[in-house]
Structure 1
Amino acid sequence: MSSSLIDFGIALDAGIKAAHAGASVLQAYSHRRSDLIIDHKARNDLVSQADKEAEQAILEAFAELTPQFGIVAEETGGKPEGAATWYIDPLDGTTNYLHGIPHYAVSLGLIAHAGTVLPQATEPLTRDTPVVAIVYDPNREELFTAVAGTGAWLNGQRIACSKTNALADSLLATGFPFRDFSFEDQYMPIFDTAIHSTRGLRRNGAAALDLAWVACGRVDGYFEMGLAPWDVAAGALLVREAHGRAEDMYGKDPWPINGYVVASGNGLFAALSAMISPHLKPR
């Protein structure tokens, strides 16, 4: 991988502009959902022209503003390359969107690759690392951003995870299996434990916003299985920069690239992980 430096300011500015461009497409279509052409990629895996056109608007912004970075996008694919790669979800929460539920977001995460030198660093990265995050909720007009080493922000105000350190005092977010049921036998006992040992669970249907809400303290923790890399690339950094942890459930990947994510404030992380780990099968 490249050893070139990444300008965080340029990347963040590009991500914000790209997120707004994608969200403009989504909101234009949201008022005439019945006109949308919807394709079925697989069972309960939907894509509409809104997803596709929003992604195209994002890709055009990045082609102009950060052409040096690789692209991995939900609808058009791509591959990691260069010093860093954008992981793009133009519409996280597609099912909510198509049903008129105003809870979805644009999620853009920049992952710096091993060998890349970050600003103020003296040594190259030894593993892939999330470095810039943008999650934009156009319905609430909430823009969550983070840059490695500088903190996480909501509309320009610094945010932090909750200080809750006991499961009994925690409100958790999760996502039920809905497309891939191969991990159902692992998920269900975790779910059962959670409903008996916490204040409650919320299933809101947009992983990027679940992670953003952990980062700003609205929920204390979050866990989900079977996600895609673009679902969690941005949110993982938001949590990490908000004094929390967002990790691969198995503790193998440097960020939850394979979609098995557990996230919370630092104080709750050990208890949340201990609730989950006994039910995981070797991968």
Structure 2
Amino acid sequence: MPPFLLTWIHCMQSFRLPLSDCLDAAVTAAHAGAAILQSYAHNRAELVIDKKMRNDLVSQADREAELAVIEILRERTPQLGIVAEESGGQTSGAATWYIDPLDGTTNFLHGIPQYAVSIALIAHAGALIEGDTPLQHDTPVIGVIYDPNREELFTAMHGVGAWLNERRINCSQTELLSESVVATGFPFRDFSFAEQYMPTLDYAINNTRGVRRLGAAALDLAWVACGRYDGYWEMGLAPWDVAAGTVIVREAGGICEDMHHRDPWPIKGYVYAGNQHTAPALDAMIQPQLKKD
């Protein structure tokens, strides 16, 4: 092994991630970001809205909430990297924060109370989080999703569990897709994968108890984790859309994976999630439609 790689591994292994402290920091940051969002929620007419691309909007509410979140995380965890939806950033150190200051921007701007602040910590390969064995690949280890309208705080810590407002949560026990209520998201920004997606929607409409589309991916995943939904799938998302929800679903006893089964978490935004029965059924629904590289 090259000397520089040995040095890098040694440095990564010498730093053990303080997960409890990181979770506390993320919860504080989520509340701070949400307070800014809610201060704008009743004055939407005054918001300055920019269009990043078709159907992809941003306002000063997103930007100010993101700044508040970043300020707290930088102060509390200066050694960690930050990647945020509006300001960008880069991975660094033993772990990186992934921040979506306003998941469900279109809902927010139209006065639909279905949006959240989403914060996740991804520990990088080589980092120590428990015991003395370094991680073999990048792993979501902290997830925080805060819904300020319902005052619901979803949290999870790798290897410990998932909670809703400090109450332990678990995925549903539904075994059959035909008895499941599932959630999805339609193509809204990139329509190049529509021909892959539409057959899955048609199948789900005809083979489940119902399909819901509420427009906030983080909350869709959180609702899988607490058993409101039995499953969820979506294509074309960004990593900050799914990072927090991934660890929350997994710690609630569920499955949340990359549709292509290439990455250790759905970093490329092709995600499916559910309990131990429904997730494999969704995967079987999706696989015949995916384009193979």
Q: Please state which band the TM-score falls in when normalised by the shorter chain.
A: over 0.9
Tell me the CA shift for residue 282 of structure 1: 1.1
Structure 1 residue identity aligned to 2:183: A
1:4-19 matched pairs, under 5 angstroms: 4-19=15-30
When the two chains are superposed, the root-mean-square deviation of aligned CA atoms in Å is 0.7
2:99 alignment counterpart: 88
Question: 1:53 is matched with which residue?
Answer: 64
Cα deviation for residue 271 of structure 1 reads 1.2
Cα deviation, 1:148-189, whole Å, max 9, x if unaligned, reads 000100000000000111110000000000110010000000
TM-score of the pair, normalised by structure 1: 0.99
Counterpart of 2:279? 269
| 2-structure distance, mates of 1:241, 1:126 | 19
What is the deviation of 1:63?
1.2
Q: What displacement does 1:269 show? A: 1.7
Please tell me the residue identity of whatever aligns with 2:224: V
Percent identical across equivalent pairs? 64
Tell me the residue number matched to 2:231: 221
Equivalent residue in structure 1 for 2:148, among 114, 131, 138: 138
- TM-score calculated relative to the size of structure 2: 0.95
Q: How far does residue 276 in structure 1 lie from its aligned partner after superposition?
A: 0.9
Q: Are residues 1:129 and 2:139 paired? A: yes
2:35 is aligned to 24
Partner of 2:192: 182
Measure, in 1, the Cα distance between the counterparts of 2:128 and 2:200.
39
**CA offsets, 1:31-69, max 9 Å, x none?**
100000000111111000000000000011011111111
- Moved segments of 4+, more than 6 Å: none
Mark the structure with the bigger radius of gyration.
2
CA distances 1:122-172 after superposition (whole Å, capped 9, x unpaired): 210010000001000000000000000001000000000001111100000
Tell me the equivalent position of 2:164.
154
Report matched runs for 1:230-249 at 5 Å. Answer: 230-249=240-259
**Residues 1:98 and 2:109 aligned together:** yes
Does residue 1:204 correspond to 2:218, yes or no? no
The whole-number CA distance in structure 2 between the counterparts of 1:29 and 1:177 is: 27
Q: Aligned residue pairs: how many? A: 282
- State the SS of the aligned residue for 1:222: strand
Aligned to 1:43: 54
| CA deviation string 1:53-111 (max 9, x = no partner) | 00000011011111111000000001111000000000000000000000000000000
Aligned to 2:90: 79
Unaligned ranges ≥5, structure 2: 1-7
